[in-house]
Amino acid sequence: MSDSMTSSPGVTALLEEHAGLEARLADPDVHADAGLARSLGRRYAAISPVVATVGELSAAEADLTDARELAHEDPAFAAEATELETRVEALRARLSEQLVPRDPADAEDVVVEVKSGEGGEESALFAGDLLRMYSRYAERRGWRVEVLSATESDLGGYKDVTVAVSAPGSDPDGVWAWFKYEGGVHRVQRVPVTESQGRIHTSAAGVLVFPEAEQSEIEIDEKDLRIDVFRASGKGGQGVNTTDSAVRITHLPTGVVVSCQNERSQLQNKARALEVLRSRLQSLADEAEQAQASADRRSQVRTVDRSERVRTYNFPENRISDHRIGYKSHDLDRVLDGDLDGVLDALRAADRSERMARAADEATHS
């Protein structure tokens, strides 16, 4: 690694951006626009660790230079120089990893859709288990989960359910940074409650995850929409079935359908459904852009085919298996209770390694 790493053009540009963001965030007028302040705050939080590492590395390199000069005059300083060499190399490795391009949507909140698949009532019950798993994981991280629409099954599961998951503050690792790995087909192997012979059945549920889009990112023409209203169903307190407050919006050019019944008024449900529609359309646009990129430039973890079987939950063996990275563990009970750290950390590590390898390959061929 070059000794001039901290003065490379990319690092210099980041330092200048960090200083500019710091100045803007100190301006009271910026905070009059909550959306702008949140966006700037998240970007500032995202690059602050890089700036901190640059500062540590610059100081360590200066100390190493001094230690080498002293060791040349007095061998007693050789040990200190050796320690500093180790620290400098570690900091260079950390900075190299931090400079790998991040997913620009990592700080975003998400919309999660869970749909039952093959397996009938057992699949609907499993969809409910997945929703509970995600909700408990979100609770552990201090995130908010808002049910937007839900169709319950006869035994208490979900035929389909849509939730919004949001994180407070300006953490650079927002909800998308963790939940983006959940999209795909999740398979369960267990004895269903409807099985009288004790036989193990296999069923599946589909999970769709996409980052929430800002209103300015996607413009929607009202002429392209068909809006239907209907009575909300399921839990919701008094009046949930007495007014046509639930809203279903169909985007005619793409056929995307979204609905919302969580809010009390039709206007609120329409506004929330439009937010979800923007996110779905942004996700479709992103996928189309990725499809045009060459295969060696796409992350196998990042661009999950939604029809792909991504994970199996085996109840008899208390085992969870993620098929994308070969991850296995025998703590299924804990995972379903919201302890997803093990599998998500492994997925993030695989994603990070691939990004670093791709960046190194691009640097070699540039």
Mean pLDDT by 10 residues, the chain (366 residues): 68 92 93 84 86 94 94 91 95 88 84 88 94 97 91 90 86 84 94 82 92 72 88 51 75 90 82 86 75 41 52 96 96 97 94 82 69
State how far the Cα of 321 lies from the Cα of 311, in Å rounded to an integer. 6
Among residues 65, 94, 93, the alpha carbon closest in space to that of 81 is found at 65
Burial of 356 (0-12, 13-18, 19+ CB in 10 A): middle
The Cα–Cα gap between 320 and 343 comes to 9
Query: Model's pTM, two decimal places?
Result: 0.71
Q: Could you tell me where the DSSP H helices lie in 102-255?
A: 121-141, 176-179
Amino acid symbol at 300: Q
pLDDT of residue 134: 98
Complete domains list, the chain, with CATH: 5-98 (1.20.58), 111-213+283-354 (3.30.70.1660)
What is the rounded distance in angstroms from the CA atom of residue 199 to the CA atom of residue 21? Answer: 60
DSSP string, 247-307: EEEEETTTTEEEEE-SSSSHHHHHHHHHHHHHHHHHHHHHHHHHHHS-GGGS-TTTS--TT
Query: What's phi and psi for 310, nearest 5 deg?
Result: -100, -30
d(CA 182, CA 334): 17
What does the buried/exposed string (b/e) look like for 48-69 if buried means 16 or more CB atoms within 10 Å of the residue's CB? eebbebbebbeebbebbeebee
According to the model, what pLDDT value does residue 215 have? Answer: 57
Residue 117 contacts by C-beta under 8 Å, 6 or more apart in sequence?
123, 185, 203, 204, 205, 206
Contacts of 216 (CB under 8 A, 6+ apart): none
192: closest CA among 150, 222, 153, 235? 153
What's the first-to-final CA gap in the chain, in angstroms? 17
| Whole-angstrom distance, CA of residue 318 vs CA of residue 339 | 14
pLDDT at residue number 82: 94
